[in-house]
Amino acid sequence: MNRRIFLKSLGFGIGSLAALEALSCPTYIGQLVLEKRRLLLVIGDSTSAGTNGNTGSGPTPAVDTCFYFQRSGGEIHVMNPDFVSAPAGTQFPKAGIDYYAAKARGLTIIPSGLGGSFITNFGTNWSSSGTQRALALADAQKALRKLNQTTLFGIHISLSVNDATDPSVVQADILTAWTDLITWCQTNFPGVPISIDKIGVTAAAMTAKIAAVQGYIDQMAVNFQGVTVINGMSVMDSLGYMADAKHPTQTGNNYRGALVATWLNTL
């Protein structure tokens, strides 16, 4: 007896039959079922998106293996090498490629980072009085609804190099801001794992303040459960992958993307 005949034999009418079948059938955007998508909210500055120079495009993911949410229009799109806010490459195509290869799950990036933003209450920022948290929260909520999911898979943060390199920002305020941001993430997305890409600059640009902020980031993994620190930006200069004082080349972005995928594989 086929499924439709079996359901009808139980007394379900045509309308009920259609409703039951809709509940049991997978939903698609593209060719990958929504149940196999993994939503990753990305918070940060320009290092959370791409480089600021013409260093080449990221790798091209296979069709329907990784995706991104676009704030403008609120739609999910198949990821390309230079997706939204990354005119010269990004780490996330590589992260998506590696994650799909390991897990056969489609990484879906919510790219809420903004170049030039600060973690402290300075300029355009991610503090409690800034504009960026509300935008990221709205992005996440829309993406979750779009994929019919209830929670994020993870949050990735690449932030605070602008604070660390700007003499106007008080060093102690950066530690306070990191604590406040992680608390905000865990309050709004309870139980969601968080990774932080430790900041890094070229050796010529290195200062005691930057080193202290690197230590503050390490401290977040000690002070909060579910927080992992990734040594991505912090090793770019030693590997020869810096395009300028603050930003990596695309080769560096690919390295960082592989680290993000390695972290995701553990979740």
Indicate if 17 and 127 belong to the same structural domain: no
The pLDDT value recorded for residue 29 is: 46
Of 67, 177, 79, give the one whose Cα is nearest residue 129.
177
- The domain spanning residue 58 has which CATH number? 3.40.50.1110
The pLDDT value recorded for residue 89 is: 66
pLDDT tens readout for residues 56-108? 677 888 888 999 998 989 999 888 766 655 545 689 999 999 999 999 999 99
The pLDDT value recorded for residue 250 is: 87
Indicate if 41 and 21 belong to the same structural domain: no
The pLDDT value recorded for residue 169 is: 98
For 129, other C-beta atoms within 10 Å of its C-beta total 7
The pLDDT value recorded for residue 267 is: 96
Indicate if 21 and 113 belong to the same structural domain: no
Indicate if 79 and 7 belong to the same structural domain: no
**Encoding tokens for residue 63?**
């069709």
Q: 95 and 254 in contact (C-beta within 8 Å)? A: no
Indicate if 3 and 53 belong to the same structural domain: no
Indicate if 111 and 6 belong to the same structural domain: no
Indicate if 225 and 251 belong to the same structural domain: yes
The pLDDT value recorded for residue 9 is: 33
Rounded to the nearest 5 degrees, what angle is found at the Cα of 200, between the Cα atoms of 85 and 207?
130
How many domains does the chain contain in total? 2
Indicate if 10 and 129 belong to the same structural domain: no
Q: 50 and 85 in contact (C-beta within 8 Å)? A: yes
Indicate if 73 and 87 belong to the same structural domain: yes
Provide the domain limits for residue 18. Answer: 1-27
Q: 38 and 105 in contact (C-beta within 8 Å)? A: yes
Q: 206 and 175 in contact (C-beta within 8 Å)? A: no
The pLDDT value recorded for residue 95 is: 95
Q: How far is Cα 145 from Cα 265, in angstroms, rounded to an integer?
A: 24
Of 185, 42, 182, give the one whose Cα is nearest residue 117.
42
**Encoding tokens for residue 153?**
């898979």
Torsion over CA: 54, 125, 198, 112 (sign): negative
The contacts of residue 146 (CB under 8 Å, 6+ apart) are 29, 69, 74, 75, 76
The pLDDT value recorded for residue 64 is: 85
Indicate if 10 and 79 belong to the same structural domain: no
Which stretches of the chain drop beneath a pLDDT of 50? 1-31, 87
Indicate if 87 and 157 belong to the same structural domain: yes
Maximum CA pair distance of the chain?
77
Indicate if 209 and 250 belong to the same structural domain: yes
The pLDDT value recorded for residue 90 is: 84
